[in-house]
Every structure is written in structure tokens, then in C-alpha cells.
Amino acid sequence: MSSMKSSTDKLQSSKRYYAVFGNPILHSKSPQLFNSVFEGQGIDAVFTRIRTLSGHDVIVLIRNLNLSGASITTPFKEEVMPFLDSISEEAKRIGGVNTIVNNNGKLSGYNTDHHGVTNSLTESGLTLHGLKCLVLGAGPAGRAAVYGLMTGGAEVTISNRTPGRAQLIARQFGCKALDMEKINHEIGGFDVVVSALFPDANPLSDVNLPPSITILDANYRKSGVGAHAEACGCKVITGQRWLVNQAVESFKLFFGFEPDISLMERGFDINLRKNSINAILCTIDAKVINLANADIVISLPVEQGGSFNTILNEEVSKAFGG
């Protein structure tokens, strides 16, 4: 406890600012998770959301706003990579970055998503070695799942609606690829299905899932795969566990010590209020904006500033539905 206090005390000299970048982004729970830890552990820092137009703009805003670090989500995990000063070997292998650390102007990219996958499964009582896993989706989250599972000794098969992408990942990582049309025939041979798909995608809708299968869903909101798995009697590990476990590793990269996970988990109980969203408009070259109480920052070129309200309404609709 004393070492944790000394680590925390070092952070009191000046406030640090962090953000999760994505498009859309208002739905993200990352600010609640991190801000819960900041408040509970006495860390002088703020974590917010920023919506921007490109991976290049993500990097420019991190530098201009002097953010100490950032979380990166769809669609920027790949886009930011060419603009970073360094990239960890894991992130290079996975082909995506979900965490950026700003060390005195040097921006380093990492990937902690694979910890979200493996730690979520092991904390549920599963042993990775020899575990037969089917990964759905060939984007950065799916590749992170393949990387983490294979590193842990699992037997991995990947499937994607575009078979060529799954076959490419299979060659890169040395796992198997399976056409989605064949999942129904092969599903009985798997212990775990990891869904790295968007919430409305459900290639398993016509698949009779054995109740013995565990489903790990990247989504922490209701998804087609998760709902179908529950209806089939499967154990479903929601994306909340994935998010927490990858966030813990990102926090350690930001601060050099472990967060209080119980504080982080409380963030899921903190919800935005639809009718009182604090949204800020900024341009890509903004140097100073008040991030302290912002629920979302929307970055737009000057000539597109008139679309701010339209974009905010889109974000609210996607975050709250309707």
C-alpha cells in the first residue's frame, strides 16, 4: 500500500489529460473506468473522448493538446501506426495500436487488446493451453485475439465473412482458417468462440451452439452474437471483462503501476445523461481547450464547423439508441 501511495503522490504536481479516440466514440465507457480510478486513488488526471476524422488527426491532437496518453478504438487502430515514433513488437505483429503513451513528445504505440482476451478467459477458470478457440472477425481486435490465444498455447481457428482475410491471418500466425458457411458443421469441435465483430453482426444466427461453449464477446453492449449465445444456453463473457482487462494494462503503461481494479469496475455503473452531454468543438490545430468536464470533443476543420450539431446528434443516437 505504501508503494502505491508513493507512486500516486508523484502524479500530483500537474494535471494529466488522456482521451479515447474513435468514430463514433460517445458510447465508450473508457472515461468512466479511468476517471473512477483517478478519483478513487487521488490521481490528478482527466480522461475524455475525442472524435476526429483520421488517424493522422489523432496524432496531431495528442501533440497539440499535450495529452499524456490515449486509448485508440475503431476505426483508428491501424491508421495511427505510420505517424508514431515507435511501436511495440506486439502491436506490430497484431497490426494495430490501442494505446499511445506520450513521453515528452515521443509517441509510442502498444496493443493491450490481447490481454483483454486472454485474461478474461483465464479469470473465468479456463486454461489457455490446448483450448480450442474460434475467433470471429479479422480486424485489429480479431488479430489481437489470435495473437493472445496462440501465445497462450491455444489451438486457434479464425473465420471472417471475407475468407481471404481469415486465410491471410492464418498464414501470418500459423493458425487455421474456416469459412463461415462451415461453422455450423464444425462448431462442436470448439471450447470457446471469441467474437470480435460489430454488435449487429451475427454469423451464428443459424448455428445451434452447444451449451458447453464459452462465448467471449468484444461488445459490452447487447450484440447479436451474445444474445444468440445466451438463448442457446452458453456461458457468455461480455465485453466489459475484455474492456477492463485491456484497460488495466493500458493504465500500467500510462502510470507504471497497477490500478485498483475494483475502482475501475465501478465505472460501468456511471452513465452519461442523454439530455446533458457536455460537447466541445475544436479544430485540428487547437492548442488549449477545457477538457476537464467534456463528455466528448468533436474535432472538425474550420469549414466543417457547421456540422457540429449534426455529428453530436449522431453520436447521441448511437450511444443511447433511437
Indicate which residue of 10, 15, 77, 106 is catalytic. Answer: 77
Three cell numbers at 247? 484497460
AA identity, residue 6: S
Q: From CA 316, how far away is CA 299, in angstroms rounded? A: 16
Give dist(CA 74, CA 56) in Å, integer. 14
Nearest in space to 282 (alpha carbons), one of 296, 270, 272, 292: 296
Relative orientation angle of helices 30-40 and 239-255, to the nearest 10 degrees? 50
Q: Between vectors from CA 196 to CA 192 and to CA 199, what angle results, nearest 5°?
A: 115
Q: Rounded to whole angstroms, how far apart are CA atoms 27 and 50?
A: 11
How many CB atoms are located within 10 Å of the residue 97 CB? 31
Cα–Cα distances (Å) from 16 to 34, 94, 207, 254, 258, in that order, read: 12, 29, 48, 10, 17
**Is residue 77 flagged as an active site residue?**
yes
User: Do β-strands 192-195 and 86-87 pair in parallel, antiparallel, or remain unpaired?
Assistant: unpaired
Distance of CA 147 to the CA centre of its chain: 15
Q: What is the DSSP letter of 290?
A: -
Active site residues: 77
